[in-house]
A and B are shown apart, each in its own frame.
Chain A
Amino acid sequence: MMKHSVIITPEHVLVDGNPLEHNESGSTMLTDLYRKYIGDYPKFFKMDTLSKLGFIASELLLNIEGNRDFEPREDRAVILFNRNASLQADTHYQSTIQNPDNFFPSPAAFVYTLPNIVTGEIAIRNKYFGETSFIVIENYDEKIIEKNLRLAFQDPITTSIIGGWVDCEDEEHFEAKIFLMEK
């Protein structure tokens, strides 16, 4: 069963279908949303755009669910999908090694060159010991995503999933469509 949804594009934010007020658009929008609706998690500023996007979307989603006690739990999974994997972070890291005369590989950039880091960021924030997974498909496909998430309930402990699409091509082009799914 699907409960609640959050959609974020560079222009719009929809929470359960209702537009959410925000001032900026594009890359500054995520910071604006952070300051307006979250604001107590400075690690946010260290994240790559994909993690920022997934983090904000999950925060807005969990705020609707309410009851945020941050108690450790193992029964909630975080399983996300996208098209571009960690492309924005990959491109950023590549820029730190592209020039042999200015070759300073950045560990803080490298760690985000894995798309599943965003699932880890959400698990860390909320103390979720459950399954975290990241799957890449070439095109957004609701059927593939929903089927895959339903199958994840074969895990003997998982009872709910933060799931959906979190994609980021670069700092100005991104899209999140995530939801809560219950067994």
Chain B
Amino acid sequence: MIVCVAHNIISPLGSTTAENYAAVKSGKSALRKYNGLWSLPEPFVASLLDRNAFTDDRYTIDEQIVITSISKALENTDIDVKSSKVLFIISTTKGNVFLLDKRENGFPQERVRLGMMAREVTKHFGNPNEPIVVSNACISGVCAQIEAMRYLENGEYDYVVVCGVDVQSAFIVSGFQSFKALSPEECKPFDANRCGLNLGDAAATIIYTKKDEVSENEWVACRGSIRNDANHISGPSRVGEGSFRALRVALGDLKPEKLALINAHGTATLYNDEMESIAIERAGLAGVPVNSLKGYYGHTMGAAGVLETIISMQAVDDHNILGTRGFDTLGVTHPLDISNQNRATEKRAFIKLLSGFGGCNAALLMEKGGLK
């Protein structure tokens, strides 16, 4: 079984998993309105790290938060990251894309390549393997975990370090603005008045290993699946085709009543949330509580799949289904069980669900103590 041995989240809400979970549990959000930032003509709402806090001029902010996040995840382990038995997988959509803006300087242009950014990270840790970068739009964070599961299942590595990261920039924000996809206020996932998403900065790390026996308290990555809508490169399928198929494979023969929750993508765009409600209903999971964490963090892109998996593990450990911040009145066709309040649960499994541009969708089943 593929077991999570360590994790960390670096976000505007904290620099440890515990700080992040405590903040989310108490309803905190780092979403703020920014006016005139990066000379962008339109204001936007986002969850941003304080750029002045990153002073190491050898590394870009992306690289710095990846290195910090992985270092913190490693803190209480005895993993030797210099070993060739450890593989690094980075999940990111845009990495150091800000380097394309010729007004930004101080770093070699080659660092805009995701492979070079990842090599800076493995070089820092003295890891000898070529790092792999998963760049599969907004589902990257779950895809990277599925990659880790496959490599570990195959047995040639002892540990896989998965780190998801994205740092917002004029490039990304203006792109989403041109898509009319950003909400002018704090996002409202699954709500009748939702009007778009917010973006966010974060890095999040999960370290996995393979074990024959797991204890009651260990988290197991059971099954993951990636499926395409085969419909449109930017608009989600009207019938939730890829998301439904990904859910079906990830669920496998697990009884839906075993699930504490589905942690949905829930970006709060009109089409995404509607699509997810259709997919969840089609997969026979309409009775399972659903939540979205975008009201706390915004959409953290390459980090989202990792960050949201970690927060959901923490919540289930705490017998808690986190409330969907920003949600008030259900605004999707299929009735989903969503609340803006934290709710109690005794269940031990959840599904992390994501969708992205390119028609891609991913689902990952996590269960505490492993599938019985």
Q: Give the B-binding residues of A (Cβ under 8 A).
A: 72, 74, 78, 83-85, 87, 90-91, 93-94, 97-98, 100, 103, 105-107, 110-111, 113-117, 119-121, 123-124, 126-139, 141, 144, 148, 151-152, 154-157
Contacts and interface: CB of A to CB of B under 8 A. Distances in A.
Given A114-B135, A117-B233, A97 B113 contact: no
B358 A119 contact: yes
Contact of B171 (A94, A137, A139): A94
Interface stretch (B61-69, B76-84, B92-100, B316-324): B92-100
Nearest to B39: A100
A135 B135 contact: yes
Interface string B97-134: 10011100000000011111011000000000011111
A68 B188 CA distance: 44
A104 to B, nearest CB: 8
Q: Which of B130, B135, B171 has the most CB of A within 10 A?
A: B135
Nearest to A127: B230
Contact of A136 (B114, B178, B225): B114
A87 B249 CA distance: 33
B177 interface: yes
B135 A111 contact: no
22 contacts: A98-B102, A103-B41, A110-B175, A110-B176, A110-B178, A111-B234, A113-B171, A114-B93, A114-B135, A114-B358, A123-B230, A124-B233, A129-B242, A132-B136, A135-B132, A136-B113, A136-B114, A136-B134, A137-B131, A144-B132, A151-B151, A154-B149
Nearest to B170: A97
Contacts of B358: 114, 116-117, 119-120, 132
B232 interface: yes
Interface in B119-170: 119, 130-137, 143, 147, 149-151, 153-154, 170
A135 B133 CA distance: 6
A120 B232 CA distance: 8
B133 A136 contact: yes
B153 A154 contact: yes
Contacts of B230: 72, 123-124, 126-129
A138 B100 contact: no
A132 B134 CA distance: 12
Nearest to A119: B358
Nearest to B133: A136
Given A105-B174, A120-B359, A83 B132 contact: no
B357 interface: yes
B178 A107 contact: yes
Given A105-B177, A117-B357, A117-B358, A137 B232 contact: no
A29 B131 CA distance: 33
Nearest to A108: B178
Contacts of A126: 230
The 6 closest A-B CB pairs, nearest first, are A138-B115, A120-B358, A110-B175, A105-B178, A151-B150, A136-B133
Listed residue (A72, A78, A132, A134) with the most chain B CB atoms within 10 angstroms of its CB: A132
Interface in B3-54: 39, 41
Given A110-B179, A151-B150, A94 B119 contact: no
Contacts of A113: 94, 97, 171, 175
B42 to A, nearest CB: 10
A54 B227 CA distance: 19
A58 B94 CA distance: 25
Nearest to B154: A151
Nearest to A46: B233
A83 B100 contact: no
Given A106-B178, A107-B179, A132 B170 contact: no
A116 B226 contact: no
Contacts of B113: 83-85, 87, 136, 138
A115 B276 CA distance: 24
B227 A124 contact: no
B135 to A, nearest CB: 5
B231 A105 contact: no
B294 interface: no
Question: Which of A114, A127, A130, A139: most chain B Cβ within 10 A?
Answer: A114
Contact of B227 (A94, A97, A130, A141): A130
A122 to B, nearest CB: 9
B199 to A, nearest CB: 13
B116 A85 contact: no
A12 B273 CA distance: 45
Given A128-B228, A128-B230, A131-B225, 19 more contacts: A83-B115, A84-B113, A93-B171, A105-B174, A105-B175, A110-B175, A111-B179, A116-B360, A120-B357, A124-B232, A131-B228, A132-B226, A138-B115, A138-B116, A138-B130, A139-B115, A148-B147, A155-B225, A156-B249
Contacts of A94: 100-101, 171
